[in-house]
Structure 1
Amino acid sequence: MKASVQSRPIRLGFVALSDSAPIIMAQELGLYAKYGLHVELSREVGWATIRDKIIYGELEAAHAPAGLVVAASCGLGSIQVECLTGLVFNLNGNAVTLSQELWKKGVRDGMTLRRAITHGDDFLTLGVVHTYSAHNLLLRQWLRTYRIEPDRDVRIVVVPPAQVHANLKAGHLDGYCVGEPWNSLAVLSKTGWSVATSEEIAPRHPEKVLMVRSDYAKQFAGEHLLLIAALREACGFCARPENRERIMETLAQLEFVGVSIQALRMSMAGTYDYGNGRIEKHSNFHLFAGEGVNEPSGDKAIWIIRNLLASGVVKDPTLIPEDRAADWFRADLFEEAGRLAKPD
């Protein structure tokens, strides 16, 4: 299929997170130009902004939590607009971080957190970055593993990713589930420590995707496929360990993620620093490419649908029917874009 003649730039949104790396590196490596695309990157505050700008046509495409495609398509938390993804950027990549104050009170894991909640006087407030993102689902799953009931035993609130660390530091949050580098910043500042990674809670869960409106994918089909092809190549670059230093140097720039290379390195160099002296090997903390990683397969969509229901975030299964999974996660577009790959 030939690309549509591009009469305007593709406005591509992202949020300041380590897993925005493919979008940013595609620009730094000249991959958009390689595929004949004119792309303008737009750094956004959080996922509600990303969703609204996609819905109202202020962005053509965006880095987004996988659950946002389902939520927007079903009118959950917004007007209903059919959206889809033809590319999964990454699997895993999140962690649950708790305050250093809880550590001082003897909290070391979920069991001791439950004890602190049961016997403590304070009602804990935990942050997630969006109601329909994996972070909310993962946090709720982790809490229930230790018989802590979300919305009864703790308060869960939505806070944009770049603001969770500041709110933890100010004492407005007792913990949160977020992507990197916002867990590592809490560890570096000694205001928090990570109690669990998303790889431990739900291995290989779908995390961020390339989100577009379905009508954009239809009207600008060739352009959309070339964008997927460029970003698919960028995902492969980000997956290779020998490229991580360059990636971290780029992400550290103010216009992208804008944090120290040290904070980025804590999760991107093959280990993960939980804080308080615990450092472990985590070569799969960020999975940007590899077998089954980038394909927007039906099983990834169904993971989101079933976990939205299991978590209690969505109570009515008719609102998010599983038979729509293939409409939202388009493996056919991923495969078609793969045929447009341009070897160096």
Structure 2
Amino acid sequence: MALKHVLEVLDLLDDGAASGQRVVDLFAGFEHVTASTTTVTGEKGSTDFIRIEIAGTEGKKAGGPAETTGIIGRLGGLGARPTRIGFVSDGDGAAAAISSAYKLAEMSTRGDRLPGDVIVTTHVCPDAPTRPHQPVEFMDSPVDILAMNTHEVVDEMDVILSIDTTKGNRVVNHRGVAISAPVKQGYILKYSEDLLRILETVSGQPAQALPISTQDITPYGNGVYHINSILQPAVAAEVPVVGVAITAQSAVPGSATGASHEVDIALATRFVIEVAKEVGAGTCEVVDEPEFESLVSMYGSMKHLSTLPNA
């Protein structure tokens, strides 16, 4: 039952005065939850990074062994004011991430705490710039991808779910949620059977896959095509990263307003919460670690894909 939380969060974010502090205030008074915000200024403006931590019963914060789930809401901005009026499609990732934290915070007050810690990060910018992209226009960001990864990829995360609107393409012709193969240290690995199972359970439909390429797991700024920024956290993370794409049947610009579907955002929210439950409980295998180690042994490290090329 995450739709209520999504509606409240969307109402909070669909505002020209939306800010990180307003989001932090949403979590005031919740036990086992901490929230903070930091404003960062770049060449194209400023944005408020947000970090929300929900402590688990057996997580690292309690000195326990349970793994930590990282949920990152990836986006350029919530709005493109004054060029566009209102909440843009690109903001869905932030809305889903904050909604998942909000739902988990409320669950914790009702005795439904997860075993593992959950760390949610994203940023709030109601007036981000736009930039050209094919087949449709993209949202840009006030700060570069290095700043985003610095504030959104947290060392304590053992698994990262990166939620991003992924509608501006012609390779996913499905409205709802699609997931990528796990990416770890430059390797695009086989799909996780557990993640496919969880997605089918929460959606009630066959799991939808997000096709990705080697280009997508390289850093922005290297001059090659990226489907979007959904896998940019993999550039900075040592742990597995899975893209959770909010998708559409047609190609929708990230800068389009009136294009957010509340039920699809709620589906992404429910999916990441269910994954977090199982990651903390040790019942979700995101990566086949022995096979990954075998690949590295046979073919060497692929971490160079996470770096910008030499001049």
TM (norm. structure 2) is 0.26
Which one has the largest radius of gyration? 1
* Higher helix content, 1 or 2: 1
